[in-house]
Amino acid sequence: MAMVTGIGVATPPQVTQEALWEGYFRAHTGGGGLARRIFASAGVRTRHTVVDPATEDISGWSTARRMARFAEQAPPLATAALVDALAAAGRSPADLGMLAVVSCTGYGTPGVDVALADGLGLAADTQRLLIGHMGCYAAIPGLGAVSDFATARGLPAALVCVELTSLHVQPPDGDPAQVVAHALFSDAAAAVVVEPDAPGWELLDIAAHTDTDSRDLMTWRVTDHGFRMGLSARVPDVLARAARPVVEKMLARNGAEVDDVAGWAVHPGGPKILDTVRDELGLDEAALAPSRAVLAEHGNCSSATVVLVLREIRARPGDLVVAMAFGPGLTLYTALLRRTG
């Protein structure tokens, strides 16, 4: 079986939620009571950004200019996360047979995958996979891809998620969905190294559920001014219908039940999402503590976030952990892991 043997994280400079509000978003959103309440109730204390809007207002930038900044700043961040993960696994770049890169916040070809291959000196025959625009859940299918490679080829593989959401501050308008996005999203890179038959996190299973009837409730559209989030208040209700059946089905085919799970790495799309998962699965509030801690310290870093949460999970050999993330589609992805060694 494929095993996660190393996790690495890299973040740009930190800024407080209050400083972002007072220094930029109060004026940007018109300073109304609704916007202030959204920022205050987001569950975020600090975030990390490659662009501080208080000193560099990019809300009027073209998409081309934003992508140029992504090409400049994403590769060093992704490199730092992968180096961290390789060190945790006791591996070198030369060991990798495959590199997969996930991002929904920046594009270019040659892209981050090629920059990583060049900067770290990956072998010319290292296979590369670029996973783009899937959104916040993309780390889990990415993990599935590198795990399948490691199992089939008997070689280590790596997954790197790099998201620079701060490059997509939108021009001022009165859309509450934009205020929610501006209150939650943050920048980070996270990486995992996967190997066959080594101590770590054994990947037992992956499950997915897409409700195409709800596809318009969460969107991530390319516009002339970067990428624009569309977010309906109905998203938690749709996820509530799917969360328990999907998790129970995945657990059942592995001979387990919800009560057998020792840890929950739930993507903190926002406080209400976490409340919904807690209530639908009948979890104690303590089960969501790692997710709420990541939300408070990092905000929502899109695909990188669930890896940040997994890094917070403390488990003993034999413990089961469920990772869960959500995104456009409307899509729910879950993974079942077991701690070994």
Which residues does the annotation mark as catalytic?
136
- Rounded alpha-carbon distances, angstroms, from residue 39 to 177, 252, 336: 12, 39, 33
Tokens read off for 333: 């992805």
Q: Are strands 226-231 and 218-223 parallel, antiparallel or unpaired?
A: antiparallel
Q: Are strands 127-132 and 98-103 parallel, antiparallel or unpaired?
A: parallel
Question: What burial letters (b/e) apply to 30-52, b meaning 16+ CB within 10 Å?
Answer: eeeeebbebbeebbbebbbbbbb
**Nearest 5°: CA angle at 173, between 170 and 188?**
25
Tokens read off for 11: 């973040």
Q: Per DSSP, what are the bridge partners of residue 2?
A: 196
- Rounded alpha-carbon distances, angstroms, from residue 174 to 28, 34, 270: 10, 10, 20
